[in-house]
Structure 1
Amino acid sequence: MRSADISGAGAEGFGSGSQANGIYSNATNTSSSRIAFCHNPVPNAVAFTAIGSAGLFIIYDIARTSAEVGSMEGIWQRAMVVGLLAVVLIGAAMLKYGPRPDASQRASFQTLVGAIPLGVACWTATGNLIVCNDQYRSRLNLATGSFRGAVSYHDAVTQLIRGGYMKLINEDDDNRLLELHRQDGSCLLIDERPLETGGFITLVSDVTERKKTDMLLNAIREEQRLLARRYHEEKLKAEAASRSKTNFLAHLSHDIRTPLNHIIGFAELMAHETYGALGDPRYREYIQTIKSSGEGLLASFATILDLAELESGQKVLRSEPLQVDELIESSVLRYRGQAARAGIEFCLGECTQAIISADKLALQRMLGNLIDNSLRFTPQGGTITVAAYAANDGVVIEVSDTGLGMTEDRLESLQQPFALGDARFTREGVGPGLGISISRAIAELSGGRMAIDSSPAMGTTVAISLPAVEGDTSVMQAAE
C-alpha cells in the first residue's frame, strides 16, 4: 500500500505534494500559487484600501508626532494597532467574498455535478471540499457521513488508498492523471484539472472493464505471438521432415530397385530355359509369379518416388503450349480398348480449341490416372465422360463416371496418400493408392486445382482447373 505522498496526492490538492519524492517541480508549485490567488475584485479592493489607509495613517502619525512632541514615542504601538485592524478587515473580506462559494452557489454546484455521470468533486485551492456528487461517493466507496463538515483533499485521498495504491500516470500544469487500484481488483481513473476561480476539480471514472479488456487483448496478442512462433517452428520441422522423407525414399528406391531388377532379369532368364529345362511345369508358373510381383513392386516404388519428388518441388515441370483437345483425345485413345473390353462406354465433350501452357507428359499422366481410376471402379455397362470447358481465366477438364462413387469420409481420406479405406477400393491392380495424390500434385504444380464430387452408387466427377497463359487470347477466344 502506498501513502498519499508516494502516490503524488498532496494535502492541498492539485499541484501540491512532497517535493522530496521528486514528483512535482517548482514550476508546478508556482502555477498552483497562481491558481490559488483570489480572482474576486471585492476582497482585493478591500485589501488594497486597508493597507493604503494604514500606511497613510502611520505616515501622518509620524509627521504629526515629530512636529508636536519631537520624539517617536508611542508611534510603533499605534502602528501595530492600525496594522492589526487592516489584517482584520482583509480577513473579513476574504471570508465573505473569498473563493469559497456561498450556500446558493453550493446548491447550484450540487445540482450541476449531480447531473454528471462521472464522479465529480470540486475543491478549493487549499484542498477543502466544496461539493461532490453521489457518483463520487459510490465509485470511491466513501460514506456520505464522511463529507459532512470541512473535508480536506488529504483526508479523502488517505481514505481512498486504504488497502490499495495510487499510480501517477501523467502530470502537467493543466492536468494530472492518477490510477487508483483497490483491493477488490477494481481500477479508477482520477483526472484532476484546475479551475479559473482558484480551485480544482476531480473527475473519477471506473476503468476496470477497460483494464480487463486491455489485459485480455495483451494476453491474446501474446498467445498469437507464441502460436506464430510455434507454427514457424513446426513448419521448419515439417519441411525438414519432408526433405528427409524424399531423400530416404530416393535411397530406398535405389537400394531396392537394383535387386528387383536382378530378380526380374533372372526370372526372365529362367523362363526362357537358357541353360536347360526347369523340369516340373509348375516352376514356369512360379517364375512368372516372381516376375509379375517384382514388376509390380518396382512400379510401386517408382510411383512413390515420383509423388515424393512432386510434393517436395524437386521435380520441375516444363511449360510449353498444349492443345487441350489433343491432350484429351490422346488419353482417351490410350484407354479406349481397355474400356471396350470392360463393356464401358467412352464419351468425349465438345471441342474447346483452347491452348494452355503446361507439361504435356505430366498432364497426360494426370489424365491417365483419373481415367484409370474410373475404369477400375465403373461396372460393365457404365459410362465415362471426359470433357473440357474454356473460360476467360483458364480451362476446366472433367472426368466423370457412373461407377461405385464414394462417401464423404472416403473423399476426406483421399487427401492423404496411401489411403485405401473401403474394401471395395482394394481391387487387384489398385496399387498403393497414389493416383489421385499424384494427379493433385501435378495440377497444383501447374498452377491449378483439383476438386472431387462423388456420391455412392451415383458416380464420381473429378475437375481440374488450369489457369490461362498471361497475354494469350486463345483461351478467351475459345470461351467466346
Structure 2
Amino acid sequence: MARATIAEASPDRRVKSSGGGRTHIFDSLRALAQPADRKLLGLDPILKVLIPALVILSLGVVAVIRIDSLKQDFIASQAEAELTLQNLAVAVAMGINNHAANNPLGDAGEILSEVLPKGALRQGRRFYLTEADGKVVGFAARQASQTQPATLDAEIGTNQPLTILGASAGVLRLHPTEDSDILATVHHLDAPYASLAVVQPHKDALAAWRSKRTQDVLIFIAMTLLSLVLVYSFFAQSARAHEADEIYANAYKRQEMALVHGRSGLWDWDVTSGTLVWSSSMSALLGYTSSDGRKDFRFSMDELNELMHPDDPSLYELQAQLLASPDTGFDTQLRLRHRSGEWLWLRLRGELVESEAGARQLMGIATDITEQKLLAENTRLADIRLRDAIETTSEAFVLWDNRNHIVMCNSNYRNLHKLSVDDVTPGTPYEVISAKSNPDIISTTPLPDDTSAPGARTYQITLADNRWLQISERRTGDGGFVSVGTDITDLKRHQEKLIEDEKQQAILIRDLSAHRQKMQTLASELVILADQHAREKEKAEAANNAKSEFLANMSHELRTPLNAIIGFSEIMRSGIFGKLGSDKYVEYCDDIHESGTFLLAVINDILQMSKIEAGRFQLDFEQVPLHDIVRESIRVVSVEVMNKDLQVTINGDDEINMDADRRSMKQIMLNLLTNAVKFTPEGGKISINMKASDYMMQLSITDTGIGIPEDALKKLGMPFEQVQNQFSKNHNGSGLGLAITRSLVEIHQGRMMIESCEGKGTTVTIMMPLVQMAELDENAELSA
C-alpha cells in the first residue's frame, strides 16, 4: 500500500539529480557501510605457533640437562659424605687408641672431646664410644638437646653388620626406625674400649645438594616465567600492531569519506527496493558492528521497524507523510532501540531525491539527541525538586523578577503575610501583593549587612507571637531580587541566656580569684613545710647512720665476750678438764651455753639488719639451683622436724635455676622454714611449692601452724616485730627473721607476701626474677 503511494506521487515533489551524482552518493554510502578487509602479515600465524613451540622445547632441554646434573651431583654428594664419615672415623679411632694407651683410666667423654677434629660435629654428625657389651660410655654431638643413649643398638639398630665387621663394612645407609634415615660406620678400638661409631642423618649429609637443587628449581621457574613474559609480550605486541593497523585504516576511510560527525550517521533509503543502507558510524551509534553476521549494513523496512519505539510513527507512516507534503526535505525525531536494549533519541534530517533513471532515494543524516532529551527531563525534574525544597524549607522565601513581579514563593511567605495562593500568582506586581499583605509585625530593626552588593539589605522584625525573623534581601544577576526570612527566635533566646551566663561567669571569676589567692598562700606554706621536711630527713638519716654504727660497734663488743662465754661453757659442760661435781653445774652450763648462743644469733641478726639498712650488704650473684637450696635447708632443720613428727613435702619444678646470692637464698629459706617448724605443732604439715614462668620464680611455704592474727599481718616483717598470742608466747626470737628475709628478697628485686588464718596456718610466698635486671642491661649493651 505504501509502495503504491510512493510510486503514484507527483514527480514535481521530488528533487531530480543526475545519474552520475546519484551513483556517486550511493556508492559513497555503500563504501561507508562496507569496511575494507584487514590483512595480516603472512608470517604472523607461523610465528604465533613457532615461538611458543621453541620456548617449550628450550625449557624441556634445560629441564632434562638440569635433572641429569642433579642426579650426578646426588651421587657425588653421597659419596663425599660417606668418604668424610669414613675419614673422620679413622682419625678419631687412632686418636682414641693413642690416648687410651697413654691414659687408660681417663674419662671416655673427655677423651672423645679431645680427639675430635675441628668441624667433626658439623652437619649433624654424632660420635659414640662403646665398651665390649655395647654400652655407650662416650658421646659427642653438636646439638645440646641430643642425649647420650644407653647402648649403640638404640641408635643404629640391633644385629647390624657394622658392629661385627667394623671398618671393613665401610659406611652403610641404615633405617633403624620407620622415620629415621642415617649414614653410619663402626671402627673397632683397642682396649679398654670396644668400638667407635660415627652416625650422620642422611638429610644433613645431603643438605648442600638439596640447597643446590632448590636453587636450580628456582632458576628454572624464573626462566619459565621469563619465557612466558616474552611470549606474552610477543602476542601483546602483535595484537597492538593489528589494532594500530585497524585504527589507521578506519581513520583513513573516515577522513576520505568526510564522516567527522559526532554521534551521527549517514543513511540511504532506497524507496523502490524498500532497503536502507547506513554508514558504520550509524551502526556504531546503535551498537551494531560488522561482526554481527552482516557483510554490509543493509536493512529491510520490516527489520528497521522492529527497532523503532512503538509510540513513534513507523517508516511507512513517515514515507506517506513525506510524499504527501509539498516539501521534499524533512526533519523529525524518533527513538530506535540500541543493541543493549536502551532507547536512543535520534533527530533525522534528509531530502527526497530522484535520479534520471527514476530511482527514488531518501538520503540524510541522523544525530543522537539522547543527552539533550535527558538534559531537558533532568531540568524539568530539577525545577520540581527546587520548588519542593523551597516549599519544605523553614525560611520564608520569595523571588521577584527585574520588573518587581513575583516569580515564586513558598507557603511560609504566604503565611507570614496572610496571602492566599491566588494572591501570589506568578507575574503579580509587588505593589498589588504589598497592598494585600497584613503581617503581624510589632517592630522592624535594620541590621548591618556584611556584603557590599548593591541593593542588599538585612533587617530584623518582631512578631506578635514573640518570634523574631531576620529578613535578608539580595539582588539577582538579571536585576530581580530574592528575599529570605529566617526564624531566629532560638538564637535570640540563646543570646539572652549568654548574657545571663556572662554575669554568672563574672561572679565565678571573682570567686576563683579569691581561691587563687588562697592557693598561693597554701603554696608558700608548703614550701616552708618542704624545707622543714628536708631538714628533718637529714636529721633522721644522720640518726640512722649513727644507729647503724652504734649497732655495729655494740655487736662487735658483745660478740667478743660472748664467744668466750660460749666457748668456756661448752668446755665445762663437756667435762674436758674433769667433772664439775654437782649435776646442777652441768645444767647451769647448758643454760649459759644456750643463752649465749641465742644472744649471739640475735646480735648477728641485728648486725646484718643494720648492714642491709645502711646499704652495705654485698651480694654475689651466680646461677643457683633452687631445688638444692630447698633440700639443704630441710637438712638443717631435719632434727627439729623429726622431733615434732612433721610432714614436709616438696612440689613443683625441680629444674629452676636463677641468678641470686647463694648465701642470701639459703638464709631466706632457713628463716622461712625455721618459722614454719617453730610455729607448727607436732604432727603438722609443711608444704613447699616451686614454680617458674618465663621471667619470675615463685616459692611458697605453707604450714598448718598457729597462724597470725589479721591485725598483725600489716606490721609483720618489720624489724623487731613479733606476733604474740596464746600459741606463740613460749617461742623466743629477735623479731628480725622475717624483716631480714623481706629485705633480702627486695634487694633481689623480688617481693614477699604473707597469707594467714589464725589457728589454721600460714603461707609465705616470695617472687623473684630468674635473671637480675643488671645482667639483662649488660647483655643488652653487649648485643647492641
Normalised by the length of structure 1, the TM-score is 0.53
SS of 1:115's partner is helix
Where does residue 445 of structure 1 map in the other structure?
A: 747
Residue 563 (structure 2) pairs with residue 261 (structure 1): yes
| Alpha carbons of structure 1 residues 118 and 209: separation in structure 2 relative to 1, 3 Å | farther
Give distance in 1, aligned partners of 2:676 and 2:538: 38
Tell me the amino acid that sits aligned with residue 667 of structure 2. R
Residue 496 (structure 2) pairs with residue 115 (structure 1): yes
CA contact (8 A) 1:322 1:360 kept: yes
| Bigger RCO of structures 1 and 2 (CA < 8 A, at least 6 apart) | 1
Where does residue 520 of structure 2 map in the other structure?
A: 218
Where does residue 353 of structure 1 map in the other structure?
A: 655
Q: For 2:587, which of 275, 285, 288 is the aligned residue? A: 285
| Alpha carbons of structure 1 residues 220 and 404: separation in structure 2 relative to 1, 3 Å | same
Q: CA deviation at 1:428?
A: 4.8
Where does residue 362 of structure 1 map in the other structure?
A: 664
| Alpha carbons of structure 1 residues 262 and 335: separation in structure 2 relative to 1, 3 Å | closer
| Alpha carbons of structure 1 residues 449 and 224: separation in structure 2 relative to 1, 3 Å | farther
Structure 1 residues 324-339: aligned runs within 5 Å = 324-339=626-641
Tell me the amino acid that sits aligned with residue 115 of structure 1. E
Q: For 2:551, which of 236, 249, 252 is the aligned residue? A: 249
Give distance in 2, aligned partners of 1:347 and 1:263: 39
Where does residue 160 of structure 2 map in the other structure?
A: none
Structure 1 residues 50-449: aligned runs within 5 Å = 115=496, 117=498, 207-271=509-573, 278-351=580-653, 353-424=655-726, 426-428=728-730, 430-449=732-751
Tell me the amino acid that sits aligned with residue 294 of structure 1. G
Tell me the amino acid that sits aligned with residue 565 of structure 2. I
Q: CA deviation at 1:360?
A: 0.6
Q: CA deviation at 1:376?
A: 1.1
Give distance in 2, aligned partners of 1:411 and 1:459: 13
Tell me the amino acid that sits aligned with residue 675 of structure 2. N
CA contact (8 A) 1:349 1:388 kept: yes
Give distance in 2, aligned partners of 1:113 and 1:386: 74
CA contact (8 A) 2:706 2:759 kept: yes
| Alpha carbons of structure 1 residues 403 and 114: separation in structure 2 relative to 1, 3 Å | closer
1:55-109: CA deviations, max 9, x gaps?
A: xxxxxxxxxxxxxxxxxxxxxxxxxxxxxxxxxxxxxxxxxxxxxxxxxxxxxxx
Give distance in 2, aligned partners of 1:357 and 1:270: 45
Give distance in 2, aligned partners of 1:231 and 1:345: 52
| Alpha carbons of structure 1 residues 241 and 424: separation in structure 2 relative to 1, 3 Å | farther
Give distance in 1, aligned partners of 2:637 and 2:581: 39
Tell me the amino acid that sits aligned with residue 669 of structure 2. L
Tell me the amino acid that sits aligned with residue 388 of structure 1. M
Residue 757 (structure 2) pairs with residue 455 (structure 1): yes
Give distance in 1, aligned partners of 2:763 and 2:707: 9
| Alpha carbons of structure 1 residues 353 and 115: separation in structure 2 relative to 1, 3 Å | same
CA contact (8 A) 2:718 2:738 kept: no
CA contact (8 A) 1:398 1:463 kept: yes
Structure 1 residues 456-471: aligned runs within 5 Å = 456-469=758-771
Tell me the amino acid that sits aligned with residue 702 of structure 2. S
| Alpha carbons of structure 1 residues 228 and 353: separation in structure 2 relative to 1, 3 Å | farther
Give distance in 2, aligned partners of 1:115 and 1:348: 80
CA contact (8 A) 2:565 2:593 kept: yes
Q: CA deviation at 1:415?
A: 3.8
Q: CA deviation at 1:366?
A: 0.4
Give distance in 2, aligned partners of 1:222 and 1:311: 34
| Alpha carbons of structure 1 residues 324 and 223: separation in structure 2 relative to 1, 3 Å | farther
CA contact (8 A) 1:119 1:205 kept: no
Q: CA deviation at 1:275?
A: 5.9
RMSD: 3.3
Give distance in 1, aligned partners of 2:619 and 2:545: 19
Q: CA deviation at 1:303?
A: 1.4
CA contact (8 A) 1:446 1:466 kept: yes
Moved more, 380-389 or 324-333: 324-333
Structure 1 portions without partners, runs of 5+:
1-110, 121-134, 140-188, 190-203, 473-480
Q: CA deviation at 1:253?
A: 0.8
SS of 1:413's partner is coil
Give distance in 2, aligned partners of 1:462 and 1:208: 58
Give distance in 1, aligned partners of 2:494 and 2:761: 77
% identical equivalent positions? 31
Tell me the amino acid that sits aligned with residue 286 of structure 1. Y
Tell me the amino acid that sits aligned with residue 585 of structure 2. Y
CA contact (8 A) 2:695 2:769 kept: yes
Give distance in 2, aligned partners of 1:268 and 1:334: 21
Tell me the amino acid that sits aligned with residue 344 of structure 1. L
Q: CA deviation at 1:219?
A: 3.9
SS of 1:381's partner is coil
| Alpha carbons of structure 1 residues 295 and 395: separation in structure 2 relative to 1, 3 Å | same
Tell me the amino acid that sits aligned with residue 512 of structure 2. R
Q: CA deviation at 1:276?
A: 6.0
Q: CA deviation at 1:312?
A: 2.0
Tell me the amino acid that sits aligned with residue 753 of structure 2. A
Tell me the amino acid that sits aligned with residue 383 of structure 1. K
SS of 2:767's partner is strand
CA contact (8 A) 2:706 2:727 kept: no
Give distance in 1, aligned partners of 2:619 and 2:544: 19
SS of 2:631's partner is helix
Give distance in 1, aligned partners of 2:693 and 2:560: 47
Give distance in 2, aligned partners of 1:299 and 1:384: 25
Q: CA deviation at 1:440?
A: 0.4
Give distance in 2, aligned partners of 1:442 and 1:463: 14
| Alpha carbons of structure 1 residues 270 and 323: separation in structure 2 relative to 1, 3 Å | closer
1:182-216: CA deviations, max 9, x gaps?
A: xxxxxxx9xxxxxxxxxxxxxx6652211133134
Larger radius of gyration: 2
Moved more, 277-286 or 299-308: 277-286
Structure 2 portions without partners, runs of 5+:
1-491, 777-784
| Alpha carbons of structure 1 residues 207 and 426: separation in structure 2 relative to 1, 3 Å | same
Give distance in 2, aligned partners of 1:468 and 1:231: 39
CA contact (8 A) 2:704 2:761 kept: yes
Count matched residues: 287
Q: CA deviation at 1:310?
A: 1.6
CA contact (8 A) 2:684 2:704 kept: yes
| Alpha carbons of structure 1 residues 252 and 468: separation in structure 2 relative to 1, 3 Å | same
